[in-house]
Amino acid sequence: MKQHAIFELAKTELASVEQELASIIRSRVDLVSDIGGHLLRAGGKRLRPALYILCAKCGSQVPAGLVPVAAAIELIHMATLVHDDVIDSAATRRGLATANARWGNHVTVLAGDYLFAKAFSLIAVHGGARALQILTETICSICEGEISQARDLFNPRQSMEDYLTRIDNKTACFIAASCELGAMTAGLTTADAEALRLYGYAIGMAFQITDDLLDVTASSEQIGKPAGNDLRQGVLTLPVLYALQHSPQAGELRRIIEARDMTDANVQKGIAVVHTTDAVEYCYGRVSDYLTTARRALPASLPAEVYKSLWDIADFVGLRKY
């Protein structure tokens, strides 16, 4: 199943979102436009605006302000990715040089701030106070999740529960908010908006676990960034935490992590320890559980074509190989 197929129902609006994004990143200062253009070309799945749009289409008519709010949602996501690049000193994202590798931390932080400000400006005009409230709380959660991640780098004593709380904050919460906002825009009942929030949360958890799994199972070419990157940077993901609890070679893995000696050989050794266990199978099991939760959360009252799209997105997340 291809991405464009699952987002078919939101195709027209997503094309308008791309135009809106292109127009927003134009600035009086060349460097701002350069960085914005680079970010835009780097692309992305547009998962959050797509979910927002699909949920917003559950009402009797297409709501006003749909496209600018969807663009604002993607701008917030882009801003967090840009600031994430500062953080990780990551050299590539999706196969392209990251903003910070091209422009330095300095300008990259500012470009992220600029995107945040543009996003809030759009929401102020088109989204209303409640949308703004939900999205600002989301950003606070993302920051708290990322700061927890920073605090727990190279810490083998963190639990799988710590990991789940962290990815809830840093990923699932935003996807949940995108769905909830869409539902509110469509004028759905509070119960249905909460159900779609739960759907988004579960999709987000599944999405992030899959992402983290790919780091220990896929090749660098497949995922467009160096494989084993999380472990190299001390970010301990679910398969690694599982292996720390279940592998007979857990002591070896713990020593590599605590020594922070992340040579290519040690990263490979660490990943090999993960594969001495059924960590990958366990994680796919968790992903499958979350996707079941997501599907079950879908209110039966949704328009049939939206229901089908959201269902297909759950399938897509489960099948994702890169």
Report the interface residues with its own copies, using CB under 8 A: 27-29, 31-32, 79-80, 83, 86-88, 104-107, 109-114, 116-118, 120-121, 124-125, 129, 132-133, 136-137, 139-140, 142-144, 146-148, 150-151
For its own copies, which is the closer residue by CB, 162 or 289? 162
For its own copies, which is the closer residue by CB, 24 or 291? 24
CB atoms inside a 10 Å sphere around CB 5? 11
Question: How far is Cα 16 from Cα 51, in angstroms, rounded to an integer?
Answer: 15
For its own copies, which is the closer residue by CB, 91 or 191? 91
For its own copies, which is the closer residue by CB, 5 or 153? 153
Q: Is there a contact between 175 and 204 (Cβ–Cβ < 8 Å)?
A: yes
Report how far apart, in Å, the C-alpha atoms of 91 and of each of 138, 153, 228, 321 are: 27, 19, 14, 22
Question: How far is Cα 62 from Cα 56, in angstroms, rounded to an integer?
Answer: 7
**For residue 185, with 0-12 CB atoms within 10 Å meaning exposed, 13-18 middle and 19 or more buried, which class applies?**
buried
CB of 247 to its own copies, least distance (A): 29
CB of 100 to its own copies, least distance (A): 10
Q: Say which amino acid occupies 178.
A: S
Q: Is there a contact between 274 and 172 (Cβ–Cβ < 8 Å)?
A: no
How many CA atoms lie within 13 Å of 300's alpha carbon, on the beta-carbon side?
A: 0
Q: Is there a contact between 53 and 13 (Cβ–Cβ < 8 Å)?
A: yes
CB of 90 to its own copies, least distance (A): 12
CB of 300 to its own copies, least distance (A): 33
CB of 96 to its own copies, least distance (A): 20
For its own copies, which is the closer residue by CB, 79 or 203? 79
For its own copies, which is the closer residue by CB, 100 or 210? 100
CB of 152 to its own copies, least distance (A): 10
CB of 132 to its own copies, least distance (A): 4
For its own copies, which is the closer residue by CB, 154 or 282? 154
For its own copies, which is the closer residue by CB, 120 or 199? 120
CB of 164 to its own copies, least distance (A): 15
Cα torsion at 214, 218, 222, 224 (round to 10°)?
60
For its own copies, which is the closer residue by CB, 146 or 194? 146
CB of 148 to its own copies, least distance (A): 6
Tell me how far the alpha carbon of residue 251 is from its chain's centroid.
Answer: 32
Q: Is there a contact between 287 and 318 (Cβ–Cβ < 8 Å)?
A: yes
Question: How far is Cα 253 from Cα 167, in angstroms, rounded to an integer?
Answer: 22
Provide CB contacts within 8 A for 116, sequence distance 6+. Answer: 75, 76, 79, 139
Question: How far is Cα 38 from Cα 102, in angstroms, rounded to an integer?
Answer: 10
**DSSP, res 172:** I
